[in-house]
Amino acid sequence: MPIINLADIAETLEWHNQRDEHDHPGIFVKLPREIARQFPVKSDDPSPAHITLCILDGSITGVEEKLVAIVQEVCRQFKPFVVKLGKVKKFDNAEGEMIIHSAVKSGKLLRFHEALKQTLRANQVSVDSKYPDYVPHITIGKAKTRKEARALKENQPQGEFMVSEIWIWGGRQPQLITLGR
């Protein structure tokens, strides 16, 4: 049984209570402290450092219990697994900003994402399809100029960690769900 850090839970609860209610709900892997310390706090996104698994389309009000039950069922099917940080890369978002990010390597993470997405859709929970290809990453920052991008790329996070739990954010309260049986 993995050890759950109560300080991390408290930090997440505090952030969740102060977040913008217009933030999209979703399912996330929160980074452990030793990995998260390598990523700057972003002024435009004060959420805890994380990997996005699925963004949900619209509010989860009224379907939160159903959502938690579905995610718990998928999580029971996956044992904890390791993810490794890859090279720092960039992509352009719809607003024309360069997103500087650390790639995340893990075949099991890709399979977990796909199982979550398919199971949610099969149970009529709408998953955002704005980005049809899932590219797991951890955002370092957004840049509008090449100079800003170069400065952000100086940060080269490294390491690997075990994913043993995930979070659902954006409902009445965040939900922590562990993987495995």
Residues 6 or more apart from 142 whose CB is under 8 A from it?
42, 44, 93, 97, 98, 99, 100
pLDDT < 50 positions in the chain: 1, 22
152, part of any domain: yes
Residue 134's CATH number: 3.90.1140.10
The pair of structure tokens assigned to 170 is: 């954006």
Q: What is the pLDDT of residues 111-130, one digit of tens each?
A: 999 999 999 999 988 888 77
1, part of any domain: no
Per-residue model confidence (pLDDT) at position 62:
79
163, part of any domain: yes
Q: What is the pLDDT of residues 140-165, one digit of tens each?
A: 999 989 999 999 999 899 999 999 99
Q: How many domains does the chain have?
A: 1
73, part of any domain: yes
18, part of any domain: yes
Per-residue model confidence (pLDDT) at position 4:
64
32, part of any domain: yes
Q: Which domain holds residue 169?
A: 6-178
Write the DSSP string, 51-99.
EEEEEBSS--TTTHHHHHHHHHHHHHT---EEEEEEEEEEEE-TTS-EE
